[in-house]
């Protein structure tokens, strides 16, 4: 199952802006599952937190950036379901992750893989 592969990979992966931050890690999951990269428009264009913030703030936030990338890649919004990419609220912040069933998984700076219950604000069918 792809979520098991993603979970195992994220346990071994360190968070790195522009390589394996929360948004790119989710888009890597989508690319492994579908062969399509929703982060193609911005992949390789930043290498630090300031660069990431500039990109997602220019789109109106993490949710808006994910909506943009997922739509360009041809993915429609749908119900949260295990294995689907999501944006959830964590401490009032929009965070990209993958639905792991009852929990959402995402990569966090200085913490690696986090799995927790969170309010999902949008999910996409892949």
Q: What was the pLDDT predicted at 1?
A: 58
Q: Say what the pTM is.
A: 0.94
Residue 50 CA to residue 18 CA, distance in Å, equals 10
Q: What was the pLDDT predicted at 110?
A: 87
Structural domain that includes position 67: 2-124
How many domains are contained in the chain? 1
Residues of the chain with pLDDT under 70: 1
Instruction: Provide the percentage of residues in the chain whose pLDDT is more than 90.
Output: 97
Q: What was the pLDDT predicted at 2?
A: 84
Q: What was the pLDDT predicted at 93?
A: 94
Q: Say which CATH number the domain at 32 has.
A: 3.90.1720
């Amino acid at each position: 199952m792809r979520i098991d592969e993603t979970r195992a990979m994220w346990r071994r992966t360190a968070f790195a802006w522009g390589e394996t931050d929360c948004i790119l890690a989710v888009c890597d999951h989508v690319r492994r599952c579908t062969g399509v990269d929703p982060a193609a428009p911005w992949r390789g264009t930043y290498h630090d937190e300031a660069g990431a913030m500039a990109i997602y703030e220019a789109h109106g936030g993490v949710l808006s950036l994910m909506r943009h990338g997922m739509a360009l890649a041809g993915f429609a919004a749908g119900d949260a379901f295990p294995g689907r990419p999501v944006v959830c609220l964590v401490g009032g912040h929009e965070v990209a992750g993958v639905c792991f069933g009852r929990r959402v998984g995402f990569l966090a700076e200085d913490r690696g893989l986090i799995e927790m219950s969170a309010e999902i604000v949008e999910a996409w069918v892949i």
